Structure 1
Amino acid sequence: MKKEKKDTLKIFGKKQTREIKIGSIIHLQGELNYTYVYTETEKFLSAKTLKTYEEVLDSKVFIRTHKSHLINQSKIKDLSDMDTLRQVELNDGTRIDISRRKFKEVKKRITEHQKKFSEKIL
Structure 2
Amino acid sequence: MDKIDFKQQKVKTALGLAQLPATNQQIKVYFSNRWIKIPLRSIVRLKGECNYTYVYTQNREYIAARTLKNFEKLLGEETFLRVHKSHIVNMMFVQGLNIQKNAGELRIEGGEHLGVSRRRLKDVINKLVFFHNS
TM (norm. structure 2) is 0.79
SS of equivalent to 1:96? strand
Structure 2 equivalent of residue 120 of structure 1: none
Structure 2 equivalent of residue 59 of structure 1: 77
Between the aligned partners of 1:101 and 1:85, the Cα distance in structure 2 is 9
Structure 2 equivalent of residue 109 of structure 1: 127
Query: What's the offset of the Cα at 1:93?
Result: 1.1
SS of equivalent to 1:51? helix
Question: Which gives a bigger RCO, structure 1 or 2 (Cα 8 Å, sep 6+)?
Answer: 2
Structure 1 equivalent of residue 36 of structure 2: 18
Once the two structures are aligned, what percentage of the paired residues are identical?
A: 30
**Which of 78, 91, 97 matches 2:115?**
97
* Root mean square deviation of aligned Cα: 1.4
Between the aligned partners of 2:29 and 2:112, the Cα distance in structure 1 is 22
Q: 1:29 to 1:75 in 2, by over 3 A?
A: same
Letter in 2 for 1:95: H
TM (norm. structure 1) is 0.86
- Indicate whether 1:31 and 2:10 are aligned: no
Between the aligned partners of 1:84 and 1:103, the Cα distance in structure 2 is 8
SS of equivalent to 2:38? strand
Deviation string 1:28-62 (CA, Å, 9 cap, x unpaired) is 00000000000001000001110000000021110
Between the aligned partners of 2:115 and 2:59, the Cα distance in structure 1 is 22
Structure 2 equivalent of residue 88 of structure 1: 106
Contact 1:28/1:37, CA 8 A, preserved across alignment: yes
Q: Which moved more, 1:80-89 or 1:103-112?
A: 80-89
Between the aligned partners of 1:105 and 1:82, the Cα distance in structure 2 is 16
Between the aligned partners of 1:96 and 1:86, the Cα distance in structure 2 is 8
Gaps of 5+ in 1: 117-122
